Structure 1
Amino acid sequence: HSEYKVKLKENSPQGTLVSKVEATDLDFWFKCTDHLLIPPDVKLIMKKETSYGMSIRATDGGGLSGHCKVLVEIEDVNDNVPEVSVISITSPLAEDSPLETLVALFSVTDRDSGDNGRTMCSVETNLPFLVVQSSLDREKVSEYNITITAVDQGSPRLTSTRIINVQISDINDNPPVFEKSSCEMQIRENNIPGLLIGSVRAADLDTEKNAKVTYSLLPGKVTDGLVASYISVNSESGNLYALRSLDYEQIKDFKVTVRATDGGSPPLSSEVTVRVVILDENDNAPFFLYPLQNSTSPCNELVPKSVEAGYLVTKVVAVDGDSGQNSWLSYELLKATDPGLFSIGAQNGEVRTRRALSERDTSKQRLLIVVRDNGLPPQSSTAMLHVLPVGVFSDPYMKAVEVRKEEHEEDGALTLYLVICLAAVSFVFLVCIVSFAAIKICRRDPRESFIAAPPHFPPARPDIPENGGDSQSGSLSRSYHYDVCLTGGSLSSEFRFLRLSGMQTSTWAVQLHKTAKSK
């Protein structure tokens, strides 16, 4: 043959028989056979060369030769896996990217040929790539690892994979969120200014500056003042501090609103309402209402000497400005003139006799009563009560007095009516007296009495002595006194002299009562 065609698979090992050629010489009927082998230093790779050609020459002893060609075609073997190459990628990818946004562009190649070089690729299902197919949310998924798988059609099939990492960038789409929309904090009264009350925390699901939260107080009022004068908040930590000493008796609780704002653009915010409850401390001592504490006048209670044991003398009353157990009061008889004569109820403050009174008991009993609260430490106050045993009142009267004391509040309206009636009766009585006097004066006989007109004296002159007279003008001094002399035989006073003296003039009046007989 002048040409041989041989097919050889690529990657055939060294020393593999490629082909056998024969040469024939008719002169001597000589036949020569030779074998074509792959040399040791040659590796057949189809990707580099798809075929090889060679010429073979056969020469006899007479110098004649013949030629033939050997064409070796290399057959492809599926010995190359597909290759995935990323051409472009968008990472990080904004979480608000619209749908159909291109994320990555890649290619798949296989160096084999024919079916060995045909490939198929696939990505994981339910992933919004390689173009955005659904909305993104960085707070749920902050990154995606996309696995691309390429498979050729050779036999056996070869597979390769490539992982693409896509980061999702944050946008400020989440406001700060408090754990609760409202909360409660407690602080004891009489606190020192600057005391930490508590903390509020707000979490932001965004990142970096979008998640940086600052805290502030919203304007408001506490009773008659601004909330900013009572409490402050640390802008970074959310700690709440009391700016002044609080008093439970003035303010029992108040509310403040704290706002949390992130650093995004535009900034987002949320609010929480904090109720600050002031806890009571035992800072108020009990105060006696009866007997009135610190009163300048003593409190006296009358008790009949005939009372028996258990008689209710009076009831002391005290109050406490605190609350809870700090305001629970108990009474005790601290000191008494006769400790065995009286007792006091620890809870109700009722003062009662422990035995019947006797003549040997003193006429004035002094009771020093103390009232204590139930706080820690307890506080107390004292009051003095004087009990006066008397024997001039009857038992019914004393019982009536006791009833009036117990029902004082109920009889308040009745007392008011009695006062009004008494005033009306007094007014009518006064009108009657005035009317009677007027009638008596009108019915009097004018012949029986008369009023002498007072004489008129001229004013004093500076040229006349105070106690002297002037014979020419007949003027008198500024002050004179007159006396009336009656005869001893007069049966009654014929004259009544009324003397009125003043600084400038003297006036007098004489009233004739009877006609006297001249002697």
Structure 2
Amino acid sequence: MESAQDLDIGSNSLQNYTISPNSHFYIKIQGGDDGKVYPELVLDRALDHEEESELRLTLTALDGGYPPRSGTTLVLIKVLDINDNAPEFAQSLYEVQVLEDTPLGSWIITISAKDLDAGYFGKISYTFFHASEDIRKTFEIGPVSGEVHLRSHLDFEVVQSYTINIQATDGGGLSEKCILLIKVMDVNDNPPEVTISSVTNIIPENVPETLVAVFSVRDQDAGDNGRIVCSIQDDLPFTLKPTFKNFFTVVTGKALDRESQAEYNITITVTDLGTPRLTTEHSITVLVSDVNDNAPAFTQASYTLLVRENNSPALHIGTISATDADAGTNAQVTYSLLPPHDPQLALASLVSINADNGQLFALRSLDYEALRAFEFGVRAADRGSPALSSQALVRVLVLDANDNAPFVLYPLQNGSAPCTELVPRAAEAGYLVTKPYLALPEAAPAQAQADSLTVYLVIALAAVSSLFLLCVLLFVAARLCRRARAASLGGCSVPEGPFPGHLLDVSGTGTLSHSYQYEVCLTGGTGASEFKFLKPIIPNFQVHDTGRNMEEKENFRNSFGFNIQ
């Protein structure tokens, strides 16, 4: 250091130097050849710029006089910095939570480090240390500010956390490291997922506890966002059952009935418990396959069909119908005739049925006078396995056509001479005069003659034609009574007016009729007791009866129980 000047000489001149007390320096006195002393400032302990960047010391020069005199000067010592301090982070681990839906460019955190050095040595820059490409694409850090920002979207379901090494380096090349742990916080941004493992789209009816589907569910979110609730519709005959973990099964809750409902749409609904709640639906279509559990059903239990006689063969006389609630071949109905209850009825020669549509056909012309009605059973069977069937009764009523004219059984109309019948004079009412019989063609077979005779006798006695015959007979009897007195004279009475012989009247309504009148004469004397049919004559029905005739009719009606007109 520069030495002090003292104008005195000898012992009164400059003799010594002192320095103010300090921890780092002391004064060392050096003597020169000229007898002067020189002060040297000596560093006693290492300086630390970061602790004390400058020191202010007082240097005192002392002479040897008495009293001693001194002089002082200020010594300013600046401690120059060297890069002896690396950057230091406030903490070695930084943790931060970031929502996965954080917008791009958002500030995440600021990393800060300190360097005790000054100037260039104390300037710090921040970088990612050995960071992966994924980290460098997702985050960035300001080299001076140490601020960390988001560069790309976060996805909790892909990466839940990032561990980043950050390095702080000063101007002198000294560095320090810390760890930044970024935890990605879940947002309910994923709806539940449904994965179908197996599904049965066709379920047979009448089978309970049938497995319909097996599926699993998951939600990639976390916490309540990932908790799920699974359900199906309540109004369906299906049950949802959990199995293990996130697997479920759908089974039929009861036996299904295809005829009630042939198709079901099952909607699997999966909802998470996040905010807001997200829902996923998956639909399954189930078809109910048919089982042959329904027999064909006729539209009515019995059918009555009307057919006019003398029909043409193969005439369609009616249709019966049966339906089957099943499907496919189980619903295909075939029809067949059942054996008649009457073994004498040759059903196979009367009608036939179309096996496919139930149409009935007459195989031959029907005759009302021979067969007025007949009935038979029809069977409707499906083509299921086993086949189911049902029966219906069919009654056919043959309608009469006016195909027979009235005719006289007696006398014969074959051109032969009339028969002569004798009636006793004293015959009372109810006396059998003659018995009518049928006039059959000679060419007709014997069996046909017998059958026809039976039919016509029934018709003559029971049908309308029999009434005509009785009226004719009663009319004849009435004429006999009226002419009884004339017969006592031995003569014969002949009706007035012309008679053409055989009269066939066809009116506009199709009514057919035969009219006959008989001439009856009394034979023998006054005491004779027989009448004789001489010949048939055609009567004139417009007879003008006298009061006496009316009395005779009344008497005869009372005797026979008929009213003679």
By the TM > 0.5 criterion, same fold? yes
> Equivalent of 1:122, from 220, 231, 234?
231
Is this contact kept in 2: 1:78–1:116, CA < 8 A?
Answer: yes
* Secondary structure, aligned partner of 2:276: coil
**Alpha-carbon shift at residue 320 of structure 1 (Å):** 11
Give the letter aligned to residue 377 of structure 1: G
Within 5 A, what are the aligned runs for 1:184-199?
Answer: 184-199=304-319
> Equivalent of 1:110, from 219, 241, 254?
219
Is 1:261 aligned to 2:351, yes or no? no
Instruction: Tell me the residue number matched to 1:33.
Output: 145
Separation in 1 of the partners of 2:320 and 2:160? 77
Separation in 2 of the partners of 1:117 and 1:35? 33
**Alpha-carbon shift at residue 91 of structure 1 (Å):** 2.8
Instruction: Tell me the residue number matched to 2:112.
Output: 22
* Secondary structure, aligned partner of 1:228: helix
Separation in 2 of the partners of 1:275 and 1:379? 30
Is this contact kept in 1: 2:95–2:182, CA < 8 A?
Answer: yes
Instruction: Tell me the residue number matched to 2:364.
Output: 244
TM-score, normalisation: structure 1: 0.62
Return closer, same or farther for 1:401/1:64 CA change in 2, 3 Å cut-off.
closer
Instruction: Tell me the residue number matched to 1:69.
Output: 179
**Alpha-carbon shift at residue 328 of structure 1 (Å):** 8.3
Give the letter aligned to residue 112 of structure 1: D
Is 1:208 aligned to 2:346, yes or no? no
* Secondary structure, aligned partner of 1:121: strand
* Secondary structure, aligned partner of 2:329: helix
Is this contact kept in 1: 2:412–2:418, CA < 8 A?
Answer: no
Instruction: Tell me the residue number matched to 1:49.
Output: 159
Is 1:81 aligned to 2:191, yes or no? yes
Give the letter aligned to residue 259 of structure 1: R
Separation in 1 of the partners of 2:457 and 2:507? 10
* Secondary structure, aligned partner of 1:45: coil
Is 1:383 aligned to 2:516, yes or no? yes
Compare CA radii of gyration and give the structure with the larger one: 2
1:106-136 CA distance string (max 9 Å, x none): 1111111111111110111142332232222
Within 5 A, what are the aligned runs for 1:51-450?
Answer: 51-97=161-207, 99-125=208-234, 126-129=236-239, 130-220=250-340, 224-288=344-408, 296-297=416-417, 364-365=494-495, 366-367=498-499, 368=501, 370=503, 372=505, 376-383=509-516, 385-386=518-519
Return closer, same or farther for 1:115/1:378 CA change in 2, 3 Å cut-off.
same
Within 5 A, what are the aligned runs for 1:446-465?
Answer: none
Give the letter aligned to residue 143 of structure 1: E
Return closer, same or farther for 1:6/1:382 CA change in 2, 3 Å cut-off.
same
Is this contact kept in 2: 1:82–1:151, CA < 8 A?
Answer: yes
**Alpha-carbon shift at residue 406 of structure 1 (Å):** 5.9
**Alpha-carbon shift at residue 240 of structure 1 (Å):** 0.8
* Secondary structure, aligned partner of 2:348: helix
Identity of aligned residues (%): 41
Is this contact kept in 2: 1:259–1:269, CA < 8 A?
Answer: yes
**Alpha-carbon shift at residue 296 of structure 1 (Å):** 4.0
How many equivalent pairs are there? Answer: 379
**Alpha-carbon shift at residue 35 of structure 1 (Å):** 1.6
Return closer, same or farther for 1:271/1:373 CA change in 2, 3 Å cut-off.
farther
Return closer, same or farther for 1:329/1:409 CA change in 2, 3 Å cut-off.
closer
Within 5 A, what are the aligned runs for 1:446-485?
Answer: none
Give the letter aligned to residue 17 of structure 1: W
Separation in 1 of the partners of 2:114 and 2:360? 112
Return closer, same or farther for 1:187/1:223 CA change in 2, 3 Å cut-off.
farther
Give the letter aligned to residue 123 of structure 1: I
Give the letter aligned to residue 283 of structure 1: D
Return closer, same or farther for 1:372/1:292 CA change in 2, 3 Å cut-off.
farther
Separation in 1 of the partners of 2:508 and 2:354? 35
Separation in 2 of the partners of 1:48 and 1:105? 28
Instruction: Tell me the residue number matched to 1:426.
Output: none
RMSD between superposed Cα atoms in Å = 4.6
Give the letter aligned to residue 23 of structure 1: A
Separation in 2 of the partners of 1:196 and 1:231? 10
1:373-404 CA distance string (max 9 Å, x none): 778533343536558899x999xx99899899
Separation in 2 of the partners of 1:237 and 1:375? 41
Unaligned residue ranges in structure 2 (runs of 5+): 1-89, 125-143, 240-249, 422-435, 437-455, 480-491, 532-548
When structure 1 is superposed on structure 2, of 234-243 and 23-32 the one drifting more is 23-32
Return closer, same or farther for 1:406/1:295 CA change in 2, 3 Å cut-off.
farther
Separation in 2 of the partners of 1:295 and 1:267? 67
Is this contact kept in 1: 2:187–2:225, CA < 8 A?
Answer: yes
**Alpha-carbon shift at residue 214 of structure 1 (Å):** 1.1
Return closer, same or farther for 1:143/1:215 CA change in 2, 3 Å cut-off.
same
Separation in 2 of the partners of 1:384 and 1:298? 13
Return closer, same or farther for 1:96/1:241 CA change in 2, 3 Å cut-off.
same
Separation in 1 of the partners of 2:509 and 2:96? 113
Return closer, same or farther for 1:177/1:35 CA change in 2, 3 Å cut-off.
same
Give the letter aligned to residue 18 of structure 1: I
TM-score, normalisation: structure 2: 0.57
